[in-house]
Amino acid sequence: MSDKGSPIGVFDSGIGGLTVVREIMRQLPDEKIVYFGDTARVPYGNKSQETVTRYSEQIVRFLEANQVKAIVVACNTASAVALAELERKSDIPMIGVVKPGAKVAADTTRNGKIGIIGTEVTVSSGIYSRYITKLNNKATVIGKACPLFVPLVEEGLLHDEVTDEIARRYLSELIATGIDTLILGCTHYPLIRSTVGKIMGKDVTLVNPAYETAMELKELLGRNQLLNITNSAAPAVDVASDRTADRYKGETLHANEMALEEDRYRFYVSDGAEKFKKFAASIIKYGFLSAKIVNIEEY
């Protein structure tokens, strides 16, 4: 049985979901987190709905075995095509990143033209458009898949002319439509938001769904009497939250190590724990950020 002291489960196809984890650390500093990154089977963004759903179900079973009190699907692709099925099969309260991101975008736009960039699966699912037009039936949503962004980020080319060139190609048609708001619809993309921001120009607001996801998680826990507010620990991290991404700073996050108990954050991956450690350090500066390997196919 889970209670207020139980951890929150967070998962992603790989390491991008750590951009959501750091936002939960900021906004819910008393909560424990169990993170799973499916690094053996990354990327999800070009796989079929059936495969993404099957993989996600295995991860949910792993998180259930870790007695989590709630689950955050910190992967846009899985949120887009698998969340409904996951919710149907589990009793654990669950949220994805798509609905919160859609809400911020609908609130933010002034001219009603919203762009969404993400993986092939996320963009072709049309799910952001469905959520946004429910909130604002005058909004127009234009999607663009950017399949090379994830490998470029994973290669560490965060500030590089090649990434600039690929981004210019992907984004040019979005610029032409006159959008004033752009959703970073993949958890890897906040890591190249300075590149995206530079190309889109200062009149386009970038939306990082991570902030609103952590907000919505807080509400969900409150509604289910699962919010952990017994401690009064300092925030685990020392960087202010950013609802709409500040594109020129804050791409990494420094943990306040003093405030961290040894066991508060646990990280699991399906492959390459050493590589995870290295990459994770570029997202969250954290003294003892290491991951254990899980054979996820057994779940």
Annotated catalytic residues are 75, 186
Q: Which is nearer to a second copy, 155 or 219 (CB)?
A: 155
Q: How far is the CB of 171 from a second copy (least distance, A)?
A: 15
> Can you give the chain as a three-state secondary structure string?
CCCCCCCEEEEECCCCCHHHHHHHHHHCCCCCEEEEECCCCCCCCCCCHHHHHHHHHHHHHHHHHCCCCEEEECCHHHHHHCHHHHHHHCCCCEEECHHHHHHHHHHHCCCCEEEEEECHHHHHHCHHHHHHHHHCCCCEEEEEECCCHHHHHHCCCCCCHHHHHHHHHHHHHHHHCCCCEEEECCCCHHHHHHHHHHHHCCCCEEECHHHHHHHHHHHHHHHCCCCCCCCCCCCCECCCCCCECCCCCCCCEEECHHHCCCCCEEEEECCCHHHHHHHHHHHEECCCCCEEECCHHHC
Q: Which is nearer to a second copy, 156 or 178 (CB)?
A: 156
Q: Which is nearer to a second copy, 39 or 205 (CB)?
A: 39
Q: Which is nearer to a second copy, 65 or 162 (CB)?
A: 162
Q: How far is the CB of 41 from a second copy (least distance, A)?
A: 5
Q: Which is nearer to a second copy, 70 or 145 (CB)?
A: 145
Q: How far is the CB of 283 from a second copy (least distance, A)?
A: 18
Q: How far is the CB of 3 from a second copy (least distance, A)?
A: 34
Q: How far is the CB of 183 from a second copy (least distance, A)?
A: 22
**169 burial level (CB within 10 Å; 0-12, 13-18, 19+):** exposed
Q: Which is nearer to a second copy, 119 or 205 (CB)?
A: 119
* Residues near a second copy, by CB under 8 A: 40-41, 46-48, 51, 54, 147-148, 151-152, 154-155, 161-162, 165-166, 270-272, 275, 293, 295, 297
Q: How far is the CB of 48 from a second copy (least distance, A)?
A: 5
* CA distances (Å), origin 207, targets 104, 107, 220, 244: 7, 11, 21, 5
Hey, what amino acid is at 184?
Answer: L
